[in-house]
Amino acid sequence: MKKKHLSNSTHSQTVEDVLEKLSSDINGLSEKEAKNRLEQFGVNEIPEKKGRHPVLIFLKQFHSILIYILIIAAVISFFSGDLIDVYIIVGVILINAIIGFVQEHKADLSIQALKKMIVLHAKVYREGELLQIAARELVPGDIILLEEGDRVPADARLFEIKIFRTVEASLTGESLPVDKDIKILPEKTALADCKNMVWMGTFVARGQAKAVVTATGISTAFGKIAQDIEKIKRVKGHFKEKTDKLAKQMGIIAAIGSSVTFIVGFFIRGFEFLEIFLFTLASLVSGIPEGLPAVLIIVLAIGAYKMAKRNAIIRTLPSTETLGVVTVIITDKTGTLTENTMNVEKIILLGEAEIAVSGKGWVSSGSFFQEEKIIHPLENPSLTKLLEIAAISSDAELLREKDRYEVIGDPTEAALTVLAEKAGLKKEKILEKVKEIDELPFSRELKCEASLLIFPEKSKRKEIYVVGAPEVVLNHSIHVFENNKRKKITQKQRKDISAQIEHLTKKAMRVLALAYKEVPHHIDDLSEDLISKLVFVGIVGMKDPPRPEVKEAIAKAKKAGIRVVMTTGDHKGTAVSIAKEIGLIGKKTKSKYPEALTEQELLDLSEKEFEDVIKNVSVFARLTPNMKLRIAETLQKQGHIVAMTGDGVNDAPALKKADVGIAMGIIGTDVARESSEIVLADDNFASIVNAIEEGRIVFKNTRQASSFLITTNFAEDVTIISTLLLGLHLPLLPTQILWLNLVTDGVSDIALAAEPGHGDVLEEPPQKAKEGILSKEMIPFIVLMACIMVIFTLFIFNTYLPQGIKKARTVAFVVMAFTQLFNVLNMRSLRKSIFKIGFFTNKYVIVSLLVSIILLVMVIFIPFFQNMFQFVSLSLVELLLIFTLSSMVFWFGELYKFIKK
């Protein structure tokens, strides 16, 4: 039996206690003990989940009530000798299965993706000797060495560090490198705030550290996420529920219709058993729209294609429709609502008006404004000095990849690099005239960094450039650089600078102060005691700005009845500031609910209070994976359809649990992408709202195409049953009914699947998740249209019956066909008049109508088909009369929409 790993509270214990509990010391384990522990704890890997076999994925596509009904219809057709219908039905079923298989072949690879993030090797001390071993052989109690560029091989407690920073964005959501220390923390400290811990799969951004391994494999923070992902079962897709329900409804309607047909025909009208039996079978098969699965999957495929054009890549087709009923979007902040960059936006110099800096992202183009006028930065001595300090103090690099930049190093330093380059200053150019001879890296104790420079052209003058926390730099300053002169700092200036710092901080900006000092010629090395008696130059305020289109997108979401919830690993103040800027929350009111809550504040609530807060608060900060999952689950319990966005490993459980998981394509991890149904190609929140708009169009088109099929089949069934009840001749033969379905249903339903949006889907609240494709609102319209078709068909049939049964059936066939084709125009919108949306805005409908008319004319006028279907030719006058009469379906539809509106 394997031992348990150390508890999750190692951050609240002394290093000595942790080592004692792990039976280890700072020299590390012996090889023998490490081998024993490897057997006890198991290898440092996340168990791999077996993927589904492709054959099983293919067979799964046939697991649908609608497909079962079509298979029954194919069997009936086969035994009744109608092989053409068998081929059509089998073809539709196979096409449906193939499209579904292609979409789902990329099975859930979340666990395998997690494994890709695990390092292959680790540096470990065994009996005081530093070795490099396979990371999978690490065990609790091992002492590991971590250096810049390393990926952390296991969860570990730090005990010796040297200016140590890690990047934990993939695990915690924290966008900036995290400064680490070895201080003991309170037991209830959130994972993102455990500064004395490092986590498997994160990586070292700067410095060096030693740590004792506390958890490996499945017991690490990553491993627990893997377990959460594996345990989570996706809810049954809303689209599958709706199609199953529709299939049952249509199957019942077809069964009832055919049963009534047989009973009336055999028992009341006295038809021969074989004759009425074959007719009933034809009626049953025609009553089941074999084209419906193809139409549904084409609607989804068209929606997926349109979403892809709007930067939302669909991984599972049914998600296109589910998006249309989303009521809540849970979104991360960094990179989705914001640019995922750091831009210096404000500069404060002593004795001058505030300077604003334009430009977005990592592009070094922008302007400097003072009192709303463009200034030339290098003409201002104080600004030039500040920009030189900014350039020299940054070690970050910007690499351009196609149309975007990748930052190598600290994003804060990258912002300083970009700021200097906007003024035309590049570090390498400055270093051609000035030599950097030493540097003092940033530390949590000092809260600043420094560079020692020598100016060869100016009598070997030496200066120290300092960048750091503004309050620290200000406290170490005794002079200010003002109007190109060094002046002794006054108490008033200190207060003014402090006020400016507070002003920028309240705007959720990261504020840095820049200073310098001259030092004697003999100084060649930097030390902390030299960071004193500085000349204060100025401060800069930087932030990760919101994406410009996000504010409008959130307004559109709100108008569409969709609530937006921000969940971030960032700090509460930053989250609230961004939320206000983008219109997610308004100005502070006297509401009993806070503007935002952290995870720790949520943990202090009772279950009832928690549920109440989730209903009313839209910003949550400093969250761990479990809390994101809990928020998603709570919203689902409250009846919401949840779309969840995310990019990191920490988001994966909630992405999988959400009704629609949306991963970031650029900054997202493999784990997040493989746990999602949709991937955003541009990581942009606005693309989510665009995708929801397309999702609503998908739902609308699904409903309209299905309504069209139901109406045509219902009209045909009622026509047959009515003639049997009234003791009339059958107006249509079985073969004529099957050809009628090909003429009207065959192409028109697909054309309706391609109906574009009419610009109003986001002006309505979301459809209820449980609302079926066939809604109560549609039934009156379907019944009305079907009744008009039946009345006109029977009227024209009886009118022409004295001229012979063939003539009467021919005109009845043409009337039924034309009324159904006119109904295609009605079904383009169940609310808007076609005069408003335009006759030619869906070119596919025009093409489908022309194809249907050609097929119709072909069987009426070509002798071969006339004999096959027992039709006769019609005169032009008769065709015009039929066309005019049939068009009444269209005008009744327009009248219905007008009255309802």
Q: Are 164 and 210 in contact (CB under 8 A)?
A: no
What percent of the chain has pLDDT above 70?
A: 88
- What distance in Å separates the CA atoms of residue 780 and residue 787, rounded to the nearest whole number? 10
Q: How far is CA 658 from the centre of its chain?
A: 10
Per-residue pLDDT, 106:
43
Read off φ and ψ for residue 224, nearest 5 degrees: -65, -35
Check which CATH number belongs to the domain holding 606 and give it. 3.40.50.1000
Is residue 86 a contact partner of residue 288, using CB atoms and an 8 Å limit?
Answer: no
Does residue 332 carry a catalytic annotation? yes
Q: What percent of the chain has pLDDT over 90?
A: 48
Of 194-198, 453-457, 721-725, where does mean pLDDT reach its minimum? 721-725
Inform me whether the pLDDT recorded for 625 exceeds 60.
yes
Residue 4 forms part of a structural domain? no
pLDDT tens for each residue of 640-685: 999 998 877 777 888 888 999 998 887 777 677 777 888 888 888 9
* 569 and 424 housed in the same domain: no
- The per-residue pLDDT for 107 is 34
pLDDT given at position 112 = 45
Tokens found for residue 521: 């010629």
Residue 178 has pLDDT above 90, yes or no: no
Smallest CA-to-CA distance from 514 within 352, 411, 398, 382 is with 382
Residue 525 lies in a domain: yes
Both 424 and 447 in a single domain?
Answer: yes
Establish if 90 belongs to a structural domain.
Answer: no
The predicted pLDDT at position 238 comes to: 67
Are residues 385 and 528 both part of a single domain?
yes
- Backbone phi and psi for residue 33, each to the nearest 5 degrees, phi listed first: -65, -40
Q: Which residues are bridge partners to 481 per DSSP?
A: 486
* Of the candidate ranges 119-133, 242-256, 550-564, 820-834, the one whose mean pLDDT is the lowest: 242-256
Helix (H, G, I), strand (E, B) or coil at 564: strand
The residue-averaged pLDDT of 737-751 equals: 79
- Inform me whether the pLDDT recorded for 230 exceeds 90: no
More confident residue, 386 or 240: 386
**93 against 151, higher pLDDT:** 151
**What's the gap between Cα 146 and its chain centre?**
34
Asked if residue 558 lies in contact with residue 551, where contact means CB atoms within 8 angstroms, the answer is: no
Q: How confident is the model at residue 283 (pLDDT cuts 50, 70, 90)?
A: low
| 570 token code pair | 């960032």
State whether 191 and 324 are in the same domain: no
Q: Give a yes or no: residue 462 inside a domain.
A: yes
Report the pLDDT value the prediction gives residue 515, as an integer from 0 to 100: 98
pLDDT band at 117 (very low <50, low <70, confident <90, very high): very low
Token pair in block for residue 54:
């492709």
Contacts for 270-278: CB closer than 8 Å, 24+ residues apart = 278/80, 278/734
What pLDDT shows up at residue 628? 87
Residue 688: per-residue pLDDT:
93
Q: Of 543, 569, 597, which marks where a domain is finished? A: 543
793, 812 Cβ separation under 8 angstroms = yes
Number of other CB atoms surrounding residue 17 within 10 Å? 13
Mean local confidence (pLDDT), 853-880: 90
For residue 86, tell me if it sits in a domain.
no
3-state secondary structure of 660: strand
Residue ending a domain, choose from 514, 543, 572: 543
Domain at 695, CATH number: 1.20.1110.10
Query: Which whole-number Å values give the CA distances from 606 to 3, 188, 246, 610, in the listed order?
Result: 34, 16, 42, 6
Could you tell me if 181 and 162 are in contact, meaning their C-beta atoms sit under 8 angstroms apart?
A: no
Query: How buried is residue 584: exposed, middle or buried, by Cβ count under 10 Å (0-12/13-18/19+)?
Result: buried
- Domain membership of residue 96 (yes or no) is no
Q: What is the pLDDT of residue 894?
A: 95
List all residues 6 or more positions away from 14 whose beta carbon is below 8 Å from its beta carbon.
184
Q: Which residue has the tokens 């069987």?
A: 859
Q: How confident is the model at residue 197 (pLDDT cuts 50, 70, 90)?
A: very high
Do both 620 and 556 map to the same domain?
A: yes
**pLDDT bucket at 589, cuts 50 / 70 / 90:** low
Task: Determine the Cα–Cα distance for residues 517 and 463; give it in Å rounded to an integer.
Answer: 6
**Cα–Cα nearest to 550, from 509, 582, 505:** 582
Q: Are 44 and 140 in contact (CB under 8 A)?
A: no
For residues 649 and 332, what is the distance between their CA atoms, to the nearest angstrom?
A: 13
CB-based burial of residue 294 (10 Å sphere; 0-12 exposed, 13-18 middle, 19+ buried)? buried
* pLDDT value of residue 662: 92
- Confidence tier at 849 by pLDDT (50, 70, 90): very high
Q: Which residues does 496 contact at the CB level (< 8 Å), separation at least 6?
A: none
Domain residue limits at 620: 313-338+548-683
pLDDT tens by residue, 294-336: 777 778 888 888 898 888 888 777 788 888 889 999 998 888 8
Which range (340-344, 514-518, 634-638) has the least confidence?
340-344
Site of tokens 């219902």: 714
Return d(Cα 829, Cα 840) in angstroms, integer: 14
Same domain, 150 and 285: no
Model confidence at 611: pLDDT above 90: yes
Give the whole-angstrom CA distance, residue 321 versus residue 311. Answer: 17
* Cα→Cα distances 892→696, 822, 878, 889, 897, Å: 27, 11, 22, 5, 9
Task: Give which of 286, 74, 300, 248 is closest to 744, Cα–Cα.
Answer: 286
Q: What are phi and psi of 44, to 5 degrees?
A: -85, 70
Is the separation of the CB atoms in 609 and 594 below 8 Å? Answer: no
Mean pLDDT of the chain: 86
d(CA 39, CA 624): 31
pLDDT reported for residue 1: 38
Using the predicted structure, report yes or no on whether residue 128 has a pLDDT greater than 50.
yes
d(CA 41, CA 58): 39
Quote the Cα angle for 667-669-671, to 5°. 155
Domain stops at, among 683, 714, 748: 683
Q: Quick one: pLDDT band at residue 425, thresholds 50, 70, 90?
A: very high
Q: What's the structural domain count of the chain?
A: 4
The full DSSP string for 359-372 is: --TT-----EEETT
Among 123-127, 146-150, 705-709, the range with the most confident prediction by mean pLDDT is 123-127
Parallel, antiparallel, or unpaired for β 203-215 and 155-167?
antiparallel
Nearest CA to 276 out of 738, 816, 734 is that of: 734
CATH code for the domain of 216: 2.70.150.10
Output the CA–CA distances (angstroms, integers) from residue 449 to 395, 438, 444, 466, in the order listed: 11, 11, 10, 6
In CATH, what number is assigned to the domain containing residue 401? Answer: 3.40.1110.10
Which pLDDT does position 108 carry in this prediction? Answer: 41
Residues 359 and 292 in one domain: no
Q: Are residues 748 and 877 in the same domain?
A: yes
Q: Are residues 757 and 875 in the same domain?
A: yes
Q: How many whole angstroms separate alpha carbon 362 and alpha carbon 45?
A: 37
Specify the pLDDT at position 191: 84
SS3 771: coil
- How confident is the model at residue 114, as a pLDDT? 43
Same domain, 208 and 354: no
Question: Which amino acid is residue 187, in one-letter code?
Answer: E
Beta-carbon contacts of residue 13 (< 8 Å; ≥ 6 apart): 21, 157, 184
**In this predicted structure, what is the pLDDT of residue 212?**
97
Q: pLDDT band at residue 815, thresholds of 50, 70 and 90?
A: very high
CB 600 within 8 A of CB 622: yes
The number of residues in the chain equals 901
Per residue in 467-487, pLDDT tens? 999 999 999 999 999 988 899
- Of the pLDDT bands very low, low, confident and very high (cuts 50, 70, 90), residue 442 is confident
pLDDT, residue 776, reads 79
Cβ neighbors of 264 (< 8 A, separation 6 or more) are 721, 724, 725
Q: What gap in Å lies between CA 189 and CA 869, rounded to an integer? A: 80
Model confidence band, residue 151 (pLDDT cutoffs 50, 70, 90)? confident
137 part of a folded domain: yes
pLDDT of residue 241: 74
Q: Provide the 8-state DSSP code for 763.
A: G
Residue 780 shares a structural domain with residue 891: yes
402: alpha, beta or left? (left if phi > 0; alpha if psi -120 to 50): left
Residue at 66 is within a domain: no
User: What was the pLDDT predicted at 113?
Assistant: 47
Higher pLDDT, 117 or 676: 676
Question: Is 384 found in the same domain as 503?
Answer: yes
Please give the Cα distance from 459 to 554 (Å, whole number).
59
Check residue 173 and give its pLDDT: 65
Using the predicted structure, report yes or no on whether residue 123 has a pLDDT greater than 60.
yes
Active-site entry in 82, 179, 193, 332: 332
Mean pLDDT of 865-874: 89
